[in-house]
Amino acid sequence: MRMTDIEAPGHERLVRVEDDASGLRAFIAIHSTRLGPAAGGLRMRPYESEQAAIEDVLRLSRGMTFKNAAAGLPLGGGKAVIIGDPAADKSPELLLAFGEAVEALGGRYWTAEDMGMSPRDMEIIARRTAHVAGLAEGPHASGDPSPVTAQGVFNAMRIAARRRLGSENLSGRAVAVQGLGHVGEHLCRLLHEAGARLIVTDVARPAVERAVARFGALAVSPDEIYDAPADIFAPCAIGATLNEATIARLKVKVVAGAANNQLATPEDGRRLHERGILLAPDFVANGGGIINVAAEIGRIPDREEWVAEKLAALEDTLERILSRAEALSCSPAEVAESIVEEILSRRAA
């Protein structure tokens, strides 16, 4: 196994990992350890080039610095990517080699699951390193973070609804949910229990059928979700679904969802603001998952209580962001970034 440092401006470290025996080709990016060890998941995708993998890992590790800081966690930002098809190229040997690389970083980077990875894969990685979270079993295992992520998104939705719709009571409100995967389905359940009406979409037909059967949701096609006559839009599928064309079509007054990097460009935050649509910034709204993982990293004994406290603090942070955005009449996305910059510079001082 070979580890080579690559120059990456704005990042503390970018390491290329290569192992001929297992075929591992990976990159580990450490954006910042100013608040603590860098933490962020491991993604496996058949990237079309090493450059594409590097761009993804750098963007995602910076995003983790912001998400961890906004959630008030003693963690910095990092991320790892493996180049390959998880269905065809993943093997125990490859995961063990990756675990060795994480261990060689001496605890400056903590890994966990992300796209293309499962708790079972984390168990294999854990045979080579102690710096792995998202395990399914064990004294501190945090399991699936999705229910906590969904709870955080639901909380963010209520806060934004109070400010833009006049009440945080979601009973009778129409919510358009894009993506009914791990988070989207839990979110639909919370919304259904709160009395909201659901308009849903997914590219996977069975997920849509489940939401219709369980929650009485109205199903629309993946493209029609932008035109849905709803109060709230919840992007819970992929990134960059909010762009110039889709924002122009939205009928909603609030956007709050789980997807990372929902805005295609920073201008799209301004576009939402100009249309009077209140955005709960993604890295604040979806911080519940990393809070859950952080409890495992920190070996927190009373995890439920600790997670609940951190979720409540995340609500306060969102209130602060939305208040400042209102006072400055600007996009909450811009304010969220500047608030995190403040947290980081306070720590540096």
The token pair at 204 is 């996977």
**Out of 178, 246, 317, 331, which residue is the one contacting ligand NAD (CB under 6 A)?**
178
**Out of 159, 198, 259, 344, which residue is the one contacting ligand NAD (CB under 6 A)?**
259
Q: How far is the CB of 15 from ligand NAD (least distance, A)?
A: 23
- Site for ligand NAD (CB under 6 A): how many residues? 24
Q: How far is the CB of 127 from ligand NAD (least distance, A)?
A: 24
Taking Cα atoms as reference points, which of 333, 221, 226, 189 lies closest to residue 272? 333
E-assigned strand segments in the chain? 2-6, 13-19, 24-32, 38-39, 42-45, 76-83, 109-110, 174-178, 197-201, 218-219, 232-235, 254-255, 278-279
Q: How far is the CB of 341 from ligand NAD (least distance, A)?
A: 21
Residue 289 lies near ligand NAD (rule: CB under 6 A): yes
Q: Which is nearer to ligand NAD, 36 or 288 (CB)?
A: 288
Q: How far is the CB of 290 from ligand NAD (least distance, A)?
A: 7
Q: How far is the CB of 186 from ligand NAD (least distance, A)?
A: 8
Q: Which is nearer to ligand NAD, 105 or 228 (CB)?
A: 228
What is d(CA 107, CA 93) in angstroms, rounded to the nearest whole number?
21
| Residue with the shortest CB distance to ligand NAD | 181
Residue 77 lies near ligand NAD (rule: CB under 6 A): no
Quick note: the x/- pattern for ligand NAD over 179-218, rule CB under 6 A, is: xxxxxx----------------xxxx--x-----------
For residues 259, 111, 65, 38, the Cα torsion angle rounded to the nearest 10 degrees is 180
Q: What is the DSSP annotation of 213-262?
A: HHH-PEE--TTGGGG---SEEEE-SSS--B-HHHHHH---SEE--S-SS-
Q: Rounded to 5 degrees, what angle do the CA atoms 321, 160, 181 make?
A: 105
Alpha helix (H) residue ranges in 44-145: 50-70, 86-89, 92-104, 119-125
Taking Cα atoms as reference points, which of 202, 199, 273 lies closest to residue 242? 273
**Out of 94, 174, 258, 322, which residue is the one contacting ligand NAD (CB under 6 A)?**
258
The token pair at 2 is 């070979």
What is d(CA 43, CA 276) in angstroms, rounded to the nearest whole number?
35
Quick note: the x/- pattern for ligand NAD over 144-173, rule CB under 6 A, is: -xx--x------------------------
Q: Which is nearer to ligand NAD, 86 or 222 (CB)?
A: 222
Q: How far is the CB of 146 from ligand NAD (least distance, A)?
A: 4
Taking Cα atoms as reference points, which of 179, 208, 173, 178 lies closest to residue 192? 173
Q: How far is the CB of 23 from ligand NAD (least distance, A)?
A: 25
Q: Which is nearer to ligand NAD, 97 or 156 (CB)?
A: 156
Q: Which stretch binds ligand NAD (CB under 6 A): 5-13, 51-59, 132-140, 232-240?
A: 232-240
Antiparallel, parallel or unpaired: β 13-19 and 24-32: antiparallel
Q: Which stretch binds ligand NAD (CB under 6 A): 10-18, 21-29, 70-78, 255-263?
A: 255-263
Residue 253 CA: distances (Å) to CA of 218, 236, 280, 303? 19, 17, 11, 35
Residue 40 lies near ligand NAD (rule: CB under 6 A): no
Looking at the annotation, which residues are catalytic?
79
Q: Which residues bind ligand NAD (CB under 6 A)?
A: 145-146, 149, 178-184, 201-204, 207, 222, 236-238, 258-260, 286, 289
